[in-house]
A and B are shown apart, each in its own frame.
Chain A
Amino acid sequence: MTAAVHPDRNFKHWLLSPAIFLLLLIGLFPLFYSLIVSFMRIDMMETDTSFAWLYNYKNLFEDARLWWSLAHTALITAIALPIELLLGLAMAYLFLEKMPGRQIFISLLVLPTIISPIVAGATWRLLFDNKYGPINQIISWFAGERVNALWTINPALVYPAIIFCEIWQWTPFMFLILLAALSNVDKSQTEAAEIDGARFIRTFRYIVLPAIWPVMAIAILIRGLDLFRIFDIIWALTKGGPGTRTETISIYAYSQGFKQFETSYTAAIAFLVVFILTVICTWAIRRMGLAK
C-alpha cells in the first residue's frame, strides 16, 4: 500500500518549476547577492570584499541627497496621483452614458497610456522647448506677449513640467479603469437613490464609491507603485536636474550605481527601497481592504 503512489503527483511542481527558477534567479538571487554586497565597501576605487556590515546603512541616514530624492518622489506622487484619480473619474463620468462615437473618443484618449514612458518624456521635451515648442507659443497667445519659459531648466517650472507629462500619460489609465468600474455599477441602485431624491454627492458616496472601490483601490495601488519608481519621464525631461532638484529615488539610485559606481552603497539604497515598498504595500493592502 505504501509503495503505490497516485500518478501525476509531481505534475504540478513540474509546471511551476521553470517560473519559480526564473523568479529566484532574477528576483531573489541577485537580491541576496546585493544584500551581501551592501555589507561591503565596494566602489569604483575599492574592490576589497571584506565586510563592513552596517557601514552603508549608517551612511543612508546621513545622506541628505537620498532623503531629498525620497521627498521629491513623494511630492510628485502626492500631486500627480490625486489629480489623475479625480480627472480620470470626471472623464469616466463624462463617457459613462452612451453617445454616438463614444468608442472612438475613448480609443483616442487612451493613446498616451500605451506609449513608452521614455517616448512620452521625449515628446514633452519637444513640446516644452522654450523657443520652438508649441507650449510657450500657446501661452504667449493668452498672455499677449512673448513668453520664454525654460520648462526643463527653471527650478520653479521643472516640477509642473514633470507632473504635466505624468498626468497626461496616466490619467487615461485611471479613466479607462474607472469607466469600466462605473459601467459595472448596478444601475437600479443609483436610479433608486435618485428617485428617493438623493443628491449626486450622496449617491456617489454611499452607492457608487463602495461599488467601484475594489477596482479603484487596485488602480491607485498600481499607479502609486509606478509613481514611486518614476524614472523614464524624468530621465527624458530633466535627468534629475537642474542640479539635483528633480532627483527621485530611482534616478538617485541609478546615478550612485552607474555614474559614481558606489556599488555597495547602491545595493544598500536598493534594499531601503524594497523595505519602504514592502511597508507601504502591506499597509495599503490592509488599509484598502484588498487582502482577500
Chain B
Amino acid sequence: MSDLRITDLHKHYGEFHAVKGVSLDVPEGEFTVLVGPSGCGKSTLLRCIAGLEETRSGKIEIGGKDVTYERPRDRDIAMVFQNYALYPYLDVKDNIAFGLRARKFAEAEVETRVKRASDMLGIGHLLQRFPRELSGGQRQRVAIGRAIVRDARLYLFDEPLSNLDAQLRDDMRVEIKRLHQELGRTMIYVTHDQIEAMTLADRIVLLRDGVIEQQGSPLDLFERPNTRFVAGFLGSPKMNFIKATLSKTGVVLADGRELMLQGRSGLKSGQAVLLGVRPQHIAQAGKTVAKGHERIAVTIELVQPTGSRVLVTLPLGGTSVVAELAAHEVSRPGEKTHIDLDMTRAIIIDATTEKVI
C-alpha cells in the first residue's frame, strides 16, 4: 500500500503556476527526496502535501485517505522546517512535547515519548534549555525530535540541513538516514543539494519548473538519466557535454575526431547531438585500451587538486572538459598526456529535444 499518492496536482500563486500536474506514488516506508533547482516547486509540493497551501486541482491521499481538503492537523503528518521553527518561549522539552499536548496526550505518555525521542537523538541532557541556548546542530535535533515523537504516518523535511555548516550537515545526514532505518517510516525530504539527495534517498524525484523531470533510485537517475537536465543536475563535478554529430558507427566531434560507439543501434547518422561524459569516466591512459574506450592525446589546461583526486581541465572537441583523475597522475598545466574515454558509459543527447537517446 502506498502511504502517499498524489494525482495531477496543480498549485498557482496568482498568475504563477508553481506545480503543474504532478502525480506521485510513495510506497510505505520509503525515503523519497524531492530535489531540483530553486523555484522548481519542490517546497511548494511539500507544503501542499502538508496542507499549508491550498491546491487548485488534483488529489492528495495519505494512507489511503483523501486529505486534499483536510486541515494539516488531520493529515497525520509531522514536519521539520528549514529554520527549525522552535518556539523561543518554550524549553526543549516543551518544544518536543508541543505536538503531543496539542493532541491532548496524557502527560505520562508525553513524558515517555519525549524521553525516548530525546535519547534517540542524544539531546536528553538539553531538555531544560531554551532554543537560544542551543547550537545550530542541537536546534536541528530538537526540531527532528519534535517530529519523531509524533509517530505520524508521513514525515516531511523541508531542507532541514541547509542552515548548518558543512561538517554538521554531513553528521546530521547520517543521523537522518539512521533514523529512517530505525523508524522505518515514510519520509519525504526536500533539498536542492544533489549530494544529500543521492546519499539519503531510496528514490529521487527530480523536479523542474513544476513538473517531475524523472524519478527513480539514485543510481538509476545517475546512470540512466532521461534528459540532459537530469544528467547535468546529478553528479559532482558536473557531467561534460560536448557538441557532436552522429555518424554510422559513433559520434563526430567539432574538430572532426570520431569516437566509436559500440553496441548501439538505431542511431540516425547526421543528427546533431550532445555527448555526455562524466568526469569520473575519463581516466589516465593505461597500458592497453579497454573495450569501448577511446584513447585521446591532450594538453592539460588547468589542474585543481582535491586531495585524493585531481580535477583537470582539458580541451576536447572544441570545448573544455573536466576529468577526475587519481591524484599525482597529472601535476601541472601544459603537460601533454593521453586519456581514455569510457564510451560505454557515455550518453547521447538529442541536441534539440535535450532527451537522452
A residues with CB within 8 A of B: 1, 4-8
Contact = CB atoms under 8 A, between A and B. Distances in A.
A1 B55 CA distance: 12
A1 B68 CA distance: 10
Interface in B117-137: none
A4 B71 contact: no
Contacts of A8: 71
Interface string B36-57: 0000000000000000001001
A7 B71 contact: yes
B58 to A, nearest CB: 10
B69 A5 contact: yes
A5 to B, nearest CB: 7
Interface string B260-301: 000000000000000000000000000000000000000000
Contacts, number: 10
10 contacts: A1-B57, A4-B68, A4-B69, A5-B69, A6-B54, A6-B69, A7-B69, A7-B70, A7-B71, A8-B71
Contacts of B71: 7-8
A10 to B, nearest CB: 13
Interface residues of B, number: 6
Given A4-B69, A7-B69, A8-B71, 7 more contacts: A1-B57, A4-B68, A5-B69, A6-B54, A6-B69, A7-B70, A7-B71
A4 B67 CA distance: 11
B70 to A, nearest CB: 7
Contacts of B70: 7
Contacts of A6: 54, 69
Tell me the dominant secondary structure on chain A's binding face: loop
Tell me the dominant secondary structure on chain B's binding face: loop
A8 B69 CA distance: 10
Contacts of A7: 69-71
A8 B74 CA distance: 13
A111 to B, nearest CB: 33
A1 to B, nearest CB: 7
A6 B70 CA distance: 7
Nearest to A3: B69
A180 to B, nearest CB: 25
A63 to B, nearest CB: 52
A12 to B, nearest CB: 13
A59 B71 CA distance: 61
Nearest to B69: A4
Nearest to B71: A7
Interface string B69-103: 11100000000000000000000000000000000
In the A-B complex, list the 4 residue pairs whose CB atoms are closest, starting with the nearest.
A4-B69, A6-B54, A7-B71, A6-B69
A27 to B, nearest CB: 31
A78 B70 CA distance: 60
Interface centre among A4, A5, A7, A8 (most CB of B within 10 A): A7
A6 to B, nearest CB: 5
A269 B54 CA distance: 50
Contacts of A1: 57
A2 to B, nearest CB: 11
A5 B56 CA distance: 10
A39 to B, nearest CB: 44
